[in-house]
């Protein structure tokens, strides 16, 4: 199927002036207005803020270009808030802070700058301590780098990528650990992209375990950003 034509809102970018305090700038890979493709909020209009920097090292990572923090420009959080407001004015329902691994940075100044602009969503592996305040936290834990307990306690959805059977056992371990933290997040299994075995395992598991639901990377299936 040919990719669909989808007009995301381009956001003109201003770089930090160079006079900013270090905490008020962040390394940014890209910002764009599109649809959330994954998880419980899939299909909704969202403004994405992809921060640079990740040392988690997932072999299947589809954003490896985001790993080297120094290769991306630092932007002022005030500029990011301006872009988010512009996207909000054009219909974005919420802002998604993603990466890379966004919690490699102190996100408190960003959250403060974005406060009142739109609901704030975070997508994280949970490897680093939580900073900032978010309305929705998607925890996507990794078997080779288990998450911090505070993220298991705070997440609203637990989204586990399924590439092989061991990922299903890991998913249930994460549920048990979240439960020990007195949290009952929404549970999603997401097949690893371009992995027919992972897809079949995730579908079969969700079919047999009604607490879980399938999360598809619908933006990739549809050919939108």
Which positions touch ligand SF4 (CB under 6 A)?
A: 54, 56-58, 61, 63, 66, 99-101, 125
Q: Which is nearer to ligand SF4, 138 or 183 (CB)?
A: 138
β-pairing, 120-124 with 136-139?
parallel
Helices H / strands E in the chain, number of each: 6, 9
Q: Which residue has the tokens 């008020």?
A: 24
Q: Which is nearer to ligand SF4, 57 or 223 (CB)?
A: 57
Q: Which is nearer to ligand SF4, 58 or 95 (CB)?
A: 58
We find the least distance from the C-beta atom of residue 50 to ligand SF4, in angstroms, to be 9
We find the least distance from the C-beta atom of residue 57 to ligand SF4, in angstroms, to be 6
Q: Which is nearer to ligand SF4, 45 or 215 (CB)?
A: 215
We find the least distance from the C-beta atom of residue 141 to ligand SF4, in angstroms, to be 10
We find the least distance from the C-beta atom of residue 60 to ligand SF4, in angstroms, to be 7
We find the least distance from the C-beta atom of residue 18 to ligand SF4, in angstroms, to be 28
Q: Which is nearer to ligand SF4, 57 or 129 (CB)?
A: 57
We find the least distance from the C-beta atom of residue 21 to ligand SF4, in angstroms, to be 26
**Residue 38 and residue 148: Cα distance in Å, rounded?**
22
Q: Strands, E, within the chain: which ranges?
A: 25-35, 45-51, 74-76, 94-98, 120-124, 136-139, 157-162, 186-191, 212-214
Contact 29, 65 (CB under 8 A): yes
Q: Which is nearer to ligand SF4, 63 or 195 (CB)?
A: 63
Burial (CB < 10 A; 0-12, 13-18, 19+), residue 173, is: middle
**Residue 6 and residue 57: Cα distance in Å, rounded?**
31
């Amino acid at each position: 199927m040919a990719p669909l034509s989808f007009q995301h809102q381009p956001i003109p970018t201003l770089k930090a002036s160079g006079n900013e305090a270090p905490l008020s700038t962040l390394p940014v890979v890209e910002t764009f207005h599109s649809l959330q493709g994954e998880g419980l909020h899939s299909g909704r209009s969202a403004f994405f803020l992809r921060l640079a920097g990740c040392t988690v090292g997932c072999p299947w990572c589809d954003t490896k270009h985001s790993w080297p923090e120094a290769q991306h420009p630092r932007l002022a959080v005030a500029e990011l808030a301006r872009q988010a407001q512009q996207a909000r004015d054009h219909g974005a329902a919420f802002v998604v802070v993603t990466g890379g691994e966004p919690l490699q940075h102190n996100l408190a100044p960003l959250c403060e700058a974005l406060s009142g602009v739109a609901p704030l969503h975070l997508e994280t592996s949970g490897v680093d301590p939580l900073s900032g305040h978010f309305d929705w936290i998607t925890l996507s834990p990794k078997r080779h780098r288990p998450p911090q307990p505070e993220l298991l306690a705070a997440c609203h959805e637990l989204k586990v990528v399924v590439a092989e059977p061991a990922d299903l056992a890991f998913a249930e371990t994460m549920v048990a650990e979240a439960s020990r933290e007195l949290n009952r997040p929404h549970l999603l299994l997401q097949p690893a992209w371009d992995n027919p075995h992972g897809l079949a395992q995730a579908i079969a598991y969700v079919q047999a375990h009604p607490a879980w639901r399938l999360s598809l990377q619908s933006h990739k299936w549809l050919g939108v950003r």
